[in-house]
Structures are given as structure tokens and as C-alpha cells.
Amino acid sequence: MTLNEKVTMKDLLSEGLYILMQQKPFEKITIKQICDKTGVIRGTFYNHFMDKYEALEYLIHRMFYKGIEHESNPQIIKHIFQTVSDDRDFFKSCYRITGQNGFEDLMSNVFKEIFRNVFSYLDVSRLDSRFTVDFLVDYYANDLLYFLKYWISRNFEPDVETYYAKIDILFKNSIKELNIRYMDKS
């Protein structure tokens, strides 16, 4: 099996999970149901994912990066809010996943990866010595998680453009205050 087939199979399996989540709560979905929906055997699922939580994380990651040219694109945050807005019911149902492996933990992992990628394109050579990149990645990932949850709890008000403009000011001003600049790595 080639790498492209594995990616395609991961896409197929995560899409099956997405379809099932339109029909029932995540907690009620089994690996067997995902396999039945996609027409594969359980072994195929486990060749690609450890469990349904990992499949969900892959799905969210794929949704957030869809249409983004490179993973360090600063517009990824706006794209995340637009993606969540476009698929409101799905993300509302995701936020109902609580406890161990809850959706907030999953989103925190996704957001940390996103900010690690963004920070890889930032010049941190003049960063205040009291801060590390890892600290800032955690800080911004948790901020984004809070902003997203708050926005969903307010029924997606205000609209994406207005809400993102507020968040963008907060992020850009704090980045500027930390003496960090965007680098062109092309």
C-alpha cells in the first residue's frame, strides 16, 4: 500500500466518522459502525488510528488545514473560525465530548501543533528571555481554545469577521509586544 493510499484511507475513515456524528452522539459511535459506514474491516481502521478519538483529531486537523497553502500561514486562525462557523452543528456536537480524551483536550493538541508551525516562521531571536516558545505555544493554543468555546457558547455571535478582527488585534499586539517578527522562509 502506498503512502497516498494510506492518506486516502485515513480520509475515508474520518469522513465515515463525520457522517456518523451527524446521526448520533460521538459516545454512541463504535469502531464497527465506522468500518461498516466506510466498507472496511476493523483491522484496516486500526492500521490507521488507535481509536475513534484519534480519527476525530485527524478529521479536525484536516478540516482546519483544508484550503491553506502552507501550515504556518498566519491566516489559519481566521480559517479555523470560518470552518467552525460553516459546520456549526458538527462543532457544537464535538464540544459535548467531555472527560478523558474530551474535545477540549483534542482541540488543545491541534491548536498547539498549529502554533508550533506558526512560530517556526517567526523570528524569536529577540524574544524576552522570560518566555520560551513552548510557553507561548501553550498560551496561544489555550487562548484560541477559550475564544472558540466562548464564541460557540454565544451561538456564533458576532459574525466571523467581527470576532476574528478582535482576536487578531489581541494576538498581533501581544506578538508585537514580545518583539517577535514574521520571517520569510521561502
Smallest CA-to-CA distance from 41 within 67, 9, 19, 82 is with: 9
Range(s) within the chain of domains with CATH label 1.10.10.60: 1-52
Average pLDDT, the chain: 86
Cell numbers at residue 112, please? Answer: 498547539
| Beta bridge partner(s), residue 22 | none
pLDDT at 178 over 90: no
Residues 6 or more apart whose CB falls under 8 angstroms from that of 113 comprise 61
CATH architecture of residue range(s) 1-52: Orthogonal Bundle (1.10)
What pLDDT does 6 receive?
Answer: 46
User: What's the whole-model pTM score?
Assistant: 0.83
Residue pLDDT, tens place only, 70-102: 655 667 888 899 999 999 999 999 988 988 888
* Location of C-alpha cell 483534542: 106
| Alpha carbon separation from 157 to 89, 149, 150 (Å, rounded) | 15, 12, 10
| CA–CA gap between residue 90 and residue 80 (Å, rounded) | 14
Q: Would you call the peptide bond into 158 cis, given omega within 30 degrees of 0 as the criterion? A: yes
Cβ count near 175 (within 10 Å)? 18
Residue pLDDT, tens place only, 117-143: 888 877 777 777 888 889 999 999 999
Residue pLDDT, tens place only, 24-71: 999 999 999 999 999 999 999 999 999 999 999 999 989 988 877 665
| CA–CA gap between residue 27 and residue 132 (Å, rounded) | 37
Cβ count near 80 (within 10 Å)? 24
